[in-house]
Structure 1
Amino acid sequence: MAVDTAANNNWINSLRANYARTIDRRRQDELEAEKPPTSANKVDRLHWYIKDNAKTHRTIKYDLVHDTKDPKPVLRRGQAFYLAIRFHNDFDIAKDRVVLNFKFGAKPAVQKGTMAVVTVENDKFTKTKNDWDCRIDPGSRGKDLVLQIYIPATAMVGIWRLDVRSGLQDISLGRAMNLYSDETDVFVLFNPWCKDDGVYMDNETNREEYVMNDKGKVYVGTYRKSRGRPWAYGQFDDVVLPVAVYILELSRVADPERGNPVQVVRGISAGVNDTDEGGILQGRWDGEYSDGVAPFKWTGSVRIMEDFVKNGYQPVKYGQCWVFSAVVTTVCRALGIPCRSVTNFVSAHDTNSSLTVDKFFNTEGKELEGGPDGESHDSIWNFHVWNDVWMTRHDLPPGYGGWQAIDATPQEESDHKMQCGPVSLQAIRRGDIGLNYDASFVFAEVNADVMHWGEDPQSDWGWRRMKMNQYHIGRLILTKTPGKEDDVGDEDQEDILSEYKNDEGTEAERLAIHNAIRGSQRAQQYYEYNKDIKEDVVFDLIEIDKISIGDEFQVKVVIRNDSDQQRKVSAFLSAQSIYYTGVSASLIKKAEGTFVLNPQQSRDVSLTVKYSEYWKKMVEQCMIKIYTICCVKETGQTWTDEDDFQVEKPTLNIETPEEVQVKKMSEATLSFTNPLDVPLTECQLSVDGAGLMRPKAIKIDSVVPPKGVFSHTVQFLPRIHGERKIIATFNSKELFDIVGSKTVDVKKVAQ
């Protein structure tokens, strides 16, 4: 049967046209359905209350806040800020649905924490401290919706943007929402005033110095004659904060890690130098600076950063260690990270992780540059400047928080980049070189032994150790004293050597070296450390569960010699107060000594700490960490252990009547006995009880005598029946954080 070709083609063409029209109609219908309802409210503009927020967030000093044409919000995480949204029509929470999308980085994502979705629906904060949250402010009226928005203390630090989506609460009328994308760069910073932030610092004098002080000194010279170079940090200048954020991009700190101070400061140590990323400063030490600025000519960081921006973000020429350190101080303080420049006088540069500075001499007594293989370029600097930054270290065991060393001067690669730290000063002091990051390198800078090697054909290696100087490296470590200014001399310097190492020549200092050697295979070879050490001495640290305030405590180690020979044992014991986050607060007491144990003999080594020695050094939670390290001379056996415990304080007793009724005035009596031998002054109560009373702070005018009883009565009018709870704390200058609570069964009004 013949096919009518023309008719068939017409039929196919009609099918194509019908299909195309149908698809197009469906797509148009879908697009119409996706459009917000015409009754959905639209956003006209946002008002950021930039200066008002800056005052409460302690960012009012930033130039960006005061820009007359394009001011920027500068906020700290762990706090709430105010924002107003002006709508096209009057805002009605019963009708209007509003969702805020805070976005961070190139690819914001909720699952990575770089996008926060915040629904506007309550007049109170309802989420946890780990979540973005908002509340509708009572000041909202008409077209203006005023919000208070909480930034979690773990939020990413840098630039955020905000999208506002507005639609209808009744989704049956349409789910689609209008989009308003605000182009304002919102700078979010670390918050050392917030206890939930990893950089929290509880001392106001220190915060003022290490975060807010925009000038200071960097120490140079020799350990016998040091001097402070005045430096203008200028962290609030308009150029600084954008550059600080930019170098985190340069150093490729992943967006989800921008809320972690550990990773941020590691990125800063890489981004300030130009070696890998083309960062801010190029280093030079050969004296030839004709195509740039000699390092000693710089007087502050702002000019360096301005040159960096003006030159198309090309590295500025030139810097040396004190310039790198000063710029790091500027960047860290700008971002809200407590930071100080520190100078180590007689500083070792260990190039092969041996924990030593090695000099090799041939049979004629001439030093061989680079050693036997030409690769040993250890050196000793008259001084070297790096930085300490303050933070908790949740990636390390408790007790290793607090000051952490970072170094932006390019010296040795770490993870294939010129970066260094952060490494805990506690780890350096103890010789725990296996902890992150770069602990062995910084340990050697302040603790390395200087070894002289002589050529010896009789040695299997071909070299023998001729001399070892244990006391040459790390003679003095200086930084500026908080709260002091000396424009004439250097009375404002502070020696922090003891924060990095024990006194030279002490058993504790040598024990830290032994502990470090255990963690380095190369060091074991250089120190002729025997890996097959006899461990014939048994050590046992007696753990302390808790003590009551006013009691003394004893750090005790039981040592037993199980060998059939005498053993000479060196021991170091210490006690220090720590924050609950693990940050070390203060050394309380230490002891060290050497003694001989006869075969099969046991001995207790102890450190007794009296109340008068520890109490003034206590911080919140009253936690104490004890640490001990011992070494056996004959075998090289090294043993360390640690323990922490809490000092218990009295409980605040709360007494209430047996029967408490709604809307009937009642009272609660709060009391405790002062356990101290001193009076309690500047006393204050904080009392709260949901449904019972409004939170209140009560100043107590009287003094609590030594061993005396404190008692105070408060009145309250219960508003809600059922089980309620009164929570109270007592604080004074001498005794703090005395806590008590009492459950109250509130009865309904009798009918």
Structure 2
Amino acid sequence: MSHSNRLGSNHANWVNGLRSDFSREFANRREEEELKENLVGPLVNNVDRVHWYIKDNAKLHHTIKFDQIHDSSSPKPVFRRGQTFYVAMRFRDRDFDLDTDRIILNFRFGPKPSVAKDTLIVLPIINKKFTKTKDEWDVRIDPGTRAKDLVLQVFIPATAPVGIWRLNIRSGLKDRSQGAGMAVYKDETDVFILFNPWCKEDLVYLEDDKDREEYVMNDKGKVYVGSFRKPRGRPWAFGQFEDVVLPVACYVLELSKYPHSERGNPVKVVRAISGGVNDIDDEGILVGRWDGEYGDGIAPFKWTGSVRILEEYLKGGFRPVKYGQCWVFSAVTTTICRALGIPCRSVTNYVSAHDTNSSLTIDKFFSKAGDEIEGGPDGENWDSIWNFHVWNDVWMARPDLPPGYGGWQAIDATPQEESENKMQCGPASLEAVRRGDIGLGFDCPFVFAEVNADVMHWGEDDESDWGYKRMKMIQFHIGRSNPEGSAAERLAIHNAIRGSKRAQIYYEYQENVKEDVKFDLIELESIFVGEPFKVKVVIRNESDEPRTVSAALTAKSIYYTGVHHFNHQKS
């Protein structure tokens, strides 16, 4: 006999009834307890409204240019951490009395504010002076307090998370015998808190006024494209103070899924921005495209500013905008960073390497017939050299690295190679790149190769252990972080090779071959479309013996990213 049969057919209904009764009784008891706890006595002073002194605070916080400050219908405060701001509240029932009224400010950040994680700030109104350290939020009663108006000065520590905060105000009585409950006033104003490059305690502090004006406040400039012989500046309107920018910047941080408690760390924030400006992982701002087919969107070269892109992103329900290329990704990144208070600049690297396998080299493989083997011997090598590539430098201290590696850091929002399973890049210390210290976070090997990679040509060889021998190494082709041919440059490469096992393997294939025959392909100043052209190759034998030379000369068209398009002729 089954267990259910032994208990009778009505047992299941009886158990379900018990569950329902127990749940209902428990809920009723808790509701009664909460009503008792929250019982607000007749003497509690309720908050009627809050005044943020938006424009006065903005002048002190260098945020007066933001459109949010001047919105006629719903202005919003924009503060920088590491400073104080003023806020006032008017009570509805009677004059404020410090001896009678118990007032607590709750600043809340993120969906699950927590005191332990510094995303829920609890500030009781007690003192007329600041009493805490600069590492903590603090509040004092301002002498301007009168009658029903309580005026406060609040200090934001220079480590506070950046983004949108909200304020709740709890009001009750200090004498609990007259009522233990507290009324809660929920202010619906979005409070933007930003990084502060004017504050010495902030990790993004930038000392020089001219630098702050250029890399934080300047809302227009140029992004350079073209070639190293013919660089060309594209005018760009960054527009970081426009109304659409701050909300989208905060949304991009949400895409990163970084804990809200870590959003005071500029290292994490710029890494999130580099991943959120492109669309690969999290439906970020821009779709990249390089094949010339832009019929279902806008061609990258037609954009002239960031604001229109961000407006399209917001109006389209946060669907990625089509299309961008490296200079567009970089310009939008500049806009987002400057809006959040991070000093930022767009940087163009001419003859820029794209190393796809962390060898620190740009490797080209050729068959015995002289044909390039696309993808290399294993089909996984797609190294290329771009005419130019544009990324960003951001300024910050790096307490996570050894001393001396702070300052400018490279980040790159153009989707190229994954980092920690996501299309993001940086921040990579420029000092680490200059020294070849590629073991430091983040993505230093990739950035180092962009500016320092040696170009290696490999040819099929049946006598080689792995089927290829190195035919040529070009050391002075890629854009450099140190002067070409300098001792500092070769030392940096030596240091970098020591930090990469794959690079050690590639540089070990010397084969004891002397490179005593030099080839010089004379570069053409210009080629006119549809017109024939001549190529001049100078071959110089620097040995004392005759040399037999086999050469293959191929003319092909490529995109500016170095990606092969079409073979025109081979001889």
Structure 2: which amino acid aligns with 1:31? L
In structure 2, relative to structure 1, the CA distance for the partners of 1:421 and 1:182 (3 Å cut) is same
Q: 85, 92, 106: which is aligned to 2:89? A: 85
Q: Distance in 2 between matches of 1:308 and 1:253?
A: 21
Q: 498, 521, 536: which is aligned to 1:518? A: 498
1:262-411 aligned within 5 A: 262-411=267-416
Q: Distance in 1 between matches of 2:192 and 2:422?
A: 28
In structure 2, relative to structure 1, the CA distance for the partners of 1:120 and 1:470 (3 Å cut) is same
Secondary structure class of the residue paired with 2:508:
coil
Q: 397, 406, 421: which is aligned to 1:416? A: 421
1:96-107 aligned within 5 A: 96-107=101-112
Q: Does the 8 A contact of 2:411 with 2:425 survive in 1? A: yes
1:128-527 aligned within 5 A: 128-474=133-479, 501-527=481-507
Residue 46 of structure 2 corresponds to residue 42 of structure 1: yes
Q: Does the 8 A contact of 2:470 with 2:509 survive in 1? A: no
Distance apart, 1:363 and its partner CA: 1.1
Q: Does the 8 A contact of 1:113 with 1:256 survive in 2? A: yes
Distance apart, 1:173 and its partner CA: 3.0
Q: Distance in 2 between matches of 1:262 and 1:21?
A: 51
Identity of aligned residues (%): 71
Tell me the residue number matched to 1:736.
Answer: none
Moved more, 333-342 or 252-261: 252-261
Structure 1: gaps spanning 5 or more residues: 1-16, 476-500, 531-751
In structure 2, relative to structure 1, the CA distance for the partners of 1:71 and 1:399 (3 Å cut) is same
Q: Distance in 1 between matches of 2:424 and 2:254?
A: 15
Structure 1: which amino acid aligns with 2:374? E
Tell me the residue number matched to 1:63.
Answer: 67
In structure 2, relative to structure 1, the CA distance for the partners of 1:33 and 1:75 (3 Å cut) is closer
In structure 2, relative to structure 1, the CA distance for the partners of 1:508 and 1:30 (3 Å cut) is closer
Q: Distance in 1 between matches of 2:179 and 2:109?
A: 29
1:525-674 aligned within 5 A: 525-528=505-508
Q: Distance in 1 between matches of 2:34 and 2:251?
A: 42
Q: Distance in 1 between matches of 2:32 and 2:398?
A: 56
Structure 1: which amino acid aligns with 2:48? D
In structure 2, relative to structure 1, the CA distance for the partners of 1:517 and 1:33 (3 Å cut) is closer
Structure 2: which amino acid aligns with 1:63? D
Q: Distance in 2 between matches of 1:192 and 1:273?
A: 26
Distance apart, 1:31 and its partner CA: 2.2
4+ aligned runs moved over 6 Å, structure 1: 20-27
Distance apart, 1:179 and its partner CA: 0.5
Structure 1: which amino acid aligns with 2:183? N
Q: Distance in 2 between matches of 1:171 and 1:457?
A: 91
More helix by share: 2
Distance apart, 1:25 and its partner CA: 8.8
Q: Does the 8 A contact of 1:80 with 1:149 survive in 2? A: yes
Q: 74, 79, 97: which is aligned to 1:75? A: 79
TM-score, scaled relative to structure 2 = 0.83
In structure 2, relative to structure 1, the CA distance for the partners of 1:96 and 1:319 (3 Å cut) is same
Q: Does the 8 A contact of 1:33 with 1:174 survive in 2? A: no
Q: Does the 8 A contact of 1:347 with 1:383 survive in 2? A: yes
In structure 2, relative to structure 1, the CA distance for the partners of 1:184 and 1:29 (3 Å cut) is closer
Q: Distance in 1 between matches of 2:340 and 2:231?
A: 30
Secondary structure class of the residue paired with 1:193:
coil
TM-score, scaled relative to structure 1 = 0.64
Distance apart, 1:250 and its partner CA: 1.2
Structure 2: which amino acid aligns with 1:450? V
Structure 2: which amino acid aligns with 1:167? G
User: Deviations for 1:181-226, whole angstroms, at most 9, x for unmatched residues?
Assistant: 1110000000000000010000000000000000011001111110
Moved more, 282-291 or 361-370: 361-370
Secondary structure class of the residue paired with 1:72:
coil
Structure 1: which amino acid aligns with 2:54? I
Q: Does the 8 A contact of 1:191 with 1:199 survive in 2? A: yes
Distance apart, 1:169 and its partner CA: 1.5
Structure 2: which amino acid aligns with 1:76? R
Higher relative contact order (CA 8 A, sep 6+): 2
Moved more, 521-530 or 460-469: 521-530
Distance apart, 1:460 and its partner CA: 0.7
User: Deviations for 1:648-696, whole angstroms, at most 9, x for unmatched residues?
Assistant: xxxxxxxxxxxxxxxxxxxxxxxxxxxxxxxxxxxxxxxxxxxxxxxxx
More strand by share: 1
In structure 2, relative to structure 1, the CA distance for the partners of 1:454 and 1:30 (3 Å cut) is closer
Q: Distance in 1 between matches of 2:282 and 2:341?
A: 23
Q: Does the 8 A contact of 1:293 with 1:317 survive in 2? A: yes
Q: Does the 8 A contact of 1:192 with 1:207 survive in 2? A: yes
In structure 2, relative to structure 1, the CA distance for the partners of 1:386 and 1:26 (3 Å cut) is closer
User: Deviations for 1:494-539, whole angstroms, at most 9, x for unmatched residues?
Assistant: xxxxxxx221101110010000000000000000189xxxxxxxxx
Distance apart, 1:28 and its partner CA: 4.2
Q: Does the 8 A contact of 2:469 with 2:509 survive in 1? A: no
User: Deviations for 1:115-138, whole angstroms, at most 9, x for unmatched residues?
Assistant: 111111111111111111111000
Q: Distance in 1 between matches of 2:27 and 2:474?
A: 86
Q: Distance in 2 between matches of 1:315 and 1:508?
A: 43
Structure 2: gaps spanning 5 or more residues: 1-20, 511-571
In structure 2, relative to structure 1, the CA distance for the partners of 1:30 and 1:228 (3 Å cut) is closer
Secondary structure class of the residue paired with 2:347:
strand
In structure 2, relative to structure 1, the CA distance for the partners of 1:26 and 1:155 (3 Å cut) is closer
Secondary structure class of the residue paired with 1:111:
coil
Q: Distance in 1 between matches of 2:155 and 2:28?
A: 45
Distance apart, 1:27 and its partner CA: 6.4
Q: Distance in 2 between matches of 1:382 and 1:66?
A: 43
Structure 1: which amino acid aligns with 2:244? V
Aligned residues: 487
Distance apart, 1:174 and its partner CA: 3.2
Secondary structure class of the residue paired with 2:369:
coil
Distance apart, 1:254 and its partner CA: 1.7
In structure 2, relative to structure 1, the CA distance for the partners of 1:165 and 1:508 (3 Å cut) is same
User: Deviations for 1:272-322, whole angstroms, at most 9, x for unmatched residues?
Assistant: 000111111000000011111110000000000001111111111100000
Secondary structure class of the residue paired with 1:510:
helix
